[in-house]
């Protein structure tokens, strides 16, 4: 197991399953101690901790609703106490509550924005000052191709994911000269719990003619989190089999 | 956590500000951040340093009213009491 170039930790929100779990595995394999944020997937989070540890890595499961500010503070406090500052933050936690716009209730709008966008902002705000002091930091926001192009039935989700891209660009410009990068990754259709219910005909619209895997998204995140990505900031990377091309 | 005596805070703030670019001998109490080319991001980092060292939390509104090195030192000392 390699040691990261500097002491610190990674935090992956929504890290117990799907894309988040694949990111956890990659970052842990690069030597980062990883905080695995989860809300409902306690068993999956604990199993992933055990898997990472069995492979010689370090991880800790961090439970709670990410939309609650105290949850985030607890995650950061635990990681800082155990491993040092959070130098890699992956804002991956996301929910959807799909409906055509006239049918989206206020609570479904608010819940999606709060979890996907506001929590990502709060986590980034909390992470950046220690990154500035360390003269190093990596924030990766997991957006979506739905933040770039239309997907009827997901106005709330699209707004949250497009919001992440705007936030990514501006925060990236604010902190770039301190060695802190902020980027977004916009996955297309990735095989996961969230896309399990999608119809098979959808594949005909994807140039690659298949769904992506969580590992294919995690590979890009791993690069953006690495020292090699030091001049990459404010960018959005689609990982979508060409669907937004 | 360090004790926030005025002398200790002054030395720490001057050291921190000098690390952002200006020569340490330019960083006097009367020097303005504008003169020193210390910008808002530098002040965010300064806030994190005094929080780590003295447990003093400075918010955005606190920072916006600071004009000189002395203003920053006095604010940290006052908050640490």
Q: What is the pLDDT of residues A108-141, one digit of tens each?
A: 999 999 999 999 999 999 999 999 999 999 999 9
User: Is A178–B52 a contact, with Cβ atoms under 8 angstroms apart?
Assistant: no
As a dihedral over the C-alpha atoms of residue A194, residue A195, residue A199, residue A204, rounded to 10 degrees, the angle is 160
**B5 lies within 8 A of chain A by CB:** no
**A178 lies within 8 A of chain B by CB:** yes
Per-residue model confidence as pLDDT tens digits over B30-81: 999 999 999 999 999 999 999 999 999 998 888 888 999 999 999 999 998 7
As a dihedral over the C-alpha atoms of residue A111, residue A112, residue A116, residue A120, rounded to 10 degrees, the angle is -40
Please check whether residue A96 is in contact with residue A194, taking contact to mean a CB–CB distance below 8 angstroms: yes
Average pLDDT over residues A47-70: 97
- Evaluate if pTM is beyond 0.80: yes
User: Is A175–B41 a contact, with Cβ atoms under 8 angstroms apart?
Assistant: yes
Query: Scanning every residue of chain A, which has its alpha carbon at the shortest distance from the alpha carbon of B49?
Result: A133
Distance in angstroms (rounded) separating the CA atoms of residues A60 and B21 = 38
Mean pLDDT computed over every residue of chain A: 95
Q: What is the ipTM of this complex?
A: 0.87
- For residue B54, give its domain range: 6-80
Q: Domain extents for chain A?
A: 9-239
Query: Scanning every residue of chain B, which has its alpha carbon at the shortest distance from the alpha carbon of A134?
Result: B45
Give a yes or no: residue B63 inside a domain. yes
**B41 lies within 8 A of chain A by CB:** yes
Listed residue (B52, B10, B5) closest to B31, CA to CA: B10
Give a yes or no: residue B1 inside a domain. no
User: Is A130–B47 a contact, with Cβ atoms under 8 angstroms apart?
Assistant: no
**B39 lies within 8 A of chain A by CB:** no
Please check whether residue A89 is in contact with residue A138, taking contact to mean a CB–CB distance below 8 angstroms: yes
Looking at the structure of chain B, the number of domains it has is 1
Per-residue model confidence as pLDDT tens digits over A212-222: 999 999 999 99
Report the CATH fold assignment for A9-239.
Rossmann fold (3.40.50)
Helix (H) / strand (E) containing A20: helix A18-29
Residues above pLDDT 70, as percent of chain A: 99
**B71 flagged as catalytic:** no
Looking at the predicted structure, is the pLDDT value of residue A194 above 70? no
């Amino acid at each position: 197991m390699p040691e990261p170039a500097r002491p610190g930790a990674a935090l992956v929100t929504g890290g117990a399953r799907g894309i988040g779990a694949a990111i956890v595995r990659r970052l842990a394999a690069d030597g980062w101690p990883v905080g695995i944020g989860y809300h409902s997937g306690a068993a999956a989070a604990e199993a992933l901790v055990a898997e990472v540890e069995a492979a010689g890595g370090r991880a800790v499961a961090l439970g709670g609703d990410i939309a609650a500010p105290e949850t985030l503070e607890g995650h950061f406090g635990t990681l800082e106490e155990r491993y040092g500052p959070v130098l890699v933050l992956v804002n991956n936690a996301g929910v959807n509550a799909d409906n055509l716009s006239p049918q989206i209730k206020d609570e479904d709008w608010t819940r999606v924005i709060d979890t996907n966008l506001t929590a990502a902002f709060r986590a980034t705000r909390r992470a950046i000052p220690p990154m500035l002091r360390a003269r190093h930091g990596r924030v990766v926001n997991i957006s979506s191709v739905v933040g770039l192009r239309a997907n009827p039935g997901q106005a709330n989700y699209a707004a949250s994911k497009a919001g992440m891209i705007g936030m990514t660009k501006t925060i990236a410009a604010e902190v770039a000269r301190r060695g802190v990068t902020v980027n977004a990754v916009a996955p297309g259709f990735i095989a996961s719990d969230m896309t399990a219910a999608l119809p098979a005909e959808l594949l005909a619209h994807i140039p690659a003619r298949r769904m992506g895997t969580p590992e294919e998204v995690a590979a890009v995140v791993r690069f953006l989190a690495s020292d090699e990505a030091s001049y990459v900031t404010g960018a959005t990377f689609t990982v979508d089999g060409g669907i937004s091309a | 956590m360090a004790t926030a005596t005025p002398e200790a805070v002054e030395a720490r703030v001057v050291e921190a500000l000098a690390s952002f670019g200006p020569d340490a001998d330019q960083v006097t109490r009367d020097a303005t951040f504008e003169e020193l080319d210390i910008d808002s991001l530098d002040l965010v980092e300064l806030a994190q340093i005094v929080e780590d060292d003295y447990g003093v939390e400075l918010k955005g509104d606190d920072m916006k009213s600071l004009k000189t090195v002395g203003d920053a030192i006095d604010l940290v000392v006052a908050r640490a009491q």
